[in-house]
Amino acid sequence: MPETLVQIEQRAPHGDWRDAHVEFRKGSICYSAAPKNLSYLGLPNARLWQPTDADWKLPPDWKRILLDGMRERLRKYRSFRLFMDICVRCGACADKCHFYLGSADPKNMPVMRAELMRSIYRRYFTLTGRIFRGLAGARELTEDVVKEWFYYFYQCTECRRCSVFCPYGIDTAEITMMGRELLNLIGCNTNWVLEPAANCFRTGNHLGIQPHGFKDSIDFAAEEASEITGLDIEVPINRKGAEVLFVMPSADYFGTPHYYTLLGYLMLFREIGLDYTVSAYASEGGNFGLFSSHEMMKRLNAKIYDEARRLGVKWILGGECGHMWRVLHQYMDTMNGPAGFLEVPKSPITGTVFANARSAKAVHICEFTADLIHHGKLKLDSRRNDHWIATYHDSCNPARAMGLLEEPRYILKNVCRNFHEMPENTIREQTFCCGSGAGLGTDENLKMRLRGGFPRANAVKYVKEKHGVNLLTCICAIDKATLPTLLEYWVPGVEVAGVHELLGNALVMTGEKQRATDLRGEPFAAPTQAAEPAIEANHA
């Protein structure tokens, strides 16, 4: 926790934004990437440096590299060129950004974040900018601008909330992605993004867990699930010929509270007898390449289809993870498809064909489970979650890059009797980010994370005070890793859980022993018995 209290207040912006000088303060920045990670990934300008240094040791021709990089991307991405040109600075986006609301720093207004880039675009790529300079809103590209870019493009979680309100659909995530790509060209990147990327490239997952460690973690979870249920639960690894390849974020088998969600998946798969395998090679669904460059995203994502092909599975099932699903939904098929070697996903239990995933062949676990519940294939005792009064946080990417809004809610309403929504302008497509996405979730950046997460936390506080909510559910690994800290600071007394953790609690498994505790080992609110008629799923 930060030594000084984070004060959230509103301050009117003042001064001239064209002044690029930024003060790097501890607690509000991410540290630079270690040279070994850059070298391993083959990225340029590996060196020791920190954002707080006066000299960033940029390559001598950094300016040419940046401008060439911009030119190339303006040619390759319509989004980039268009979003550089058409903003009218109406300001509708300004107060939609959690970082602006939490920091009152005017350059955190989405429009301003984009102007940091646009002013350079105008100066070097437009006629009016070349002639009229400042009058046309153009600025010179200086080292201060590079530092400013670094500061503010690593103070954006690519959550896309501002884009929902923009009359032209200008997406700050696109601009931040371009900004980070450009900074990567001159070696200005953060370790919290590139170390997971390097790990993932080498070992298969962000945490750098090697195959035997992966097996240990999975076996440990399987044993614990077996112990809780009294059933024999085993998890196949790299098994050829399975029907389904299950891919999850590595945090699910290495972090808490993610781990309870993993238990929930394993119990579900055991109960329905799913013919599946996990992979120690494709042992990461998340993709920190998304936070670095399109190229890195593609490099890290490639192993999912490759492994599905090698193992000869029919289709891919993906676990609870936000940015993983942005990649799987909007990029994977384009980057590494077509996946003609797979089959159109079809639930072996209900026969439902997931036509919405017929090309990419990847199904979200919430789509899969909601379908199971809808067809009455699961015996659920929602009273086993009576100790929770839950609300649901829409994770940014599934909400705004996919529209996965109802599936998790449908599951929750079937497994949990106490559910309350947060205010409507803070959920669904208008959901507020956790403040730690896009590779900002590191402890050295905690002050800024607490600021950025404030709007989300405040909406949780509202339902805590109004309905006594004590559990924030979500379907994102970064949420599960960072929201506990956020809530501990702003709304003590509210825990964080995955949707499939609550499913695991409520799931009445065939032949299970009488369970007295939930997956966390906490006692149920009232004794329940598997033998009693369980509350059937809602067939409406």
Partner 1 sequence: MAMNAIYALLAVLAITAAGLVGGQVTPARIALTEVIPYAAVTCFLAGFCWRIARWASAPVPFRIPVTCGQQKSLSWIRSAPVDNPSTLPGVLARMAAEILLFRSLFRNQRARIGGGRLILGETGALWLSALAFHWALLLILLRHLRLFLEPVPAFVNSLERLDGFFQLGVPPLYLSDVILIGALAYLIFRRFRDPAVRFISLFTDYFALFLLLGTAVTGILMRYFVRVDVLSVKELALSLAALRPAAAQALAPMFLAHLLLVCTLAAYVPFSKLMHMGGVFLSPTRNLANDSRAFRHANPWNHPVKTHTYAEWEEEFRDKIQAAGIPVEVAEGAGDAGNARTN
Give the number of other Cβ atoms within 10 Å of residue 247's Cβ. 25
Interacting residue with partner 1 among 121, 253, 388, 410 (CB under 8 A):
410
Q: Which of residues 493-522 bind partner 1 (CB under 8 A)?
A: none
Q: Which of residues 429-468 bind partner 1 (CB under 8 A)?
A: 429-430, 454-455, 458-459
Q: Which of residues 137-166 bind partner 1 (CB under 8 A)?
A: 137, 160, 163-166
Is 254 a binding residue for partner 1 by CB under 8 A? The answer is no
Q: How far is the CB of 463 from partner 1 (least distance, A)?
A: 13
- Is 454 in contact with 501 (CB distance < 8 Å)? no
Q: Output phi, psi for 346, to 5 deg.
A: -140, 130
Phi-psi region of 6 (alpha: psi -120 to 50; beta: other; left: phi over 0): beta
Q: Which of residues 185-204 bind partner 1 (CB under 8 A)?
A: 201-204
Q: Could you identify the residue written with the tokens 């509103």?
A: 10
Q: How far is the CB of 52 from partner 1 (least distance, A)?
A: 27
Q: Strands 315-318 and 276-277: what pairing?
A: unpaired
From residue 280 to residue 319, what is the string marking binding to partner 1 with x (rule CB under 8 A)?
xx------------xx--xx--xx--xx--x---------
Give the number of other Cβ atoms within 10 Å of residue 86's Cβ. 12
96 is written with which tokens?
Answer: 């939609």
* Distance of alpha carbon 368 from alpha carbon 274, whole angstroms: 12
Choice between 52 and 425, CB closer to partner 1: 425
Q: How far is the CB of 109 from partner 1 (least distance, A)?
A: 6
Q: Which stretch binds partner 1 (CB under 8 A): 25-33, 43-51, 61-69, 351-359?
A: 351-359
* Distance of alpha carbon 176 from alpha carbon 158, whole angstroms: 7
* Distance of alpha carbon 410 from alpha carbon 419, whole angstroms: 11
Interacting residue with partner 1 among 270, 323, 400, 515 (CB under 8 A):
400
Sign for the CA dihedral angle at 258, 259, 263, 269 comes to positive
Cis peptide before 338 (omega within 30 of 0): yes
Choice between 63 and 113, CB closer to partner 1: 113
Most distant CA atoms of the chain, gap in Å: 80
Choice between 30 and 372, CB closer to partner 1: 372
From residue 70 to residue 89, what is the string marking binding to partner 1 with x (rule CB under 8 A)?
----xxxxxxxxx--xxxxx
Q: Which of residues 205-224 bind partner 1 (CB under 8 A)?
A: 210-212, 214-216
Choice between 58 and 193, CB closer to partner 1: 193
Q: Which of residues 12-41 bind partner 1 (CB under 8 A)?
A: 12-14, 16-17, 39-40
Q: What is the DSSP letter of 30?
A: P
Q: Which residues pair with 244 in a beta bridge?
A: 276, 315
Q: How far is the CB of 356 from partner 1 (least distance, A)?
A: 5
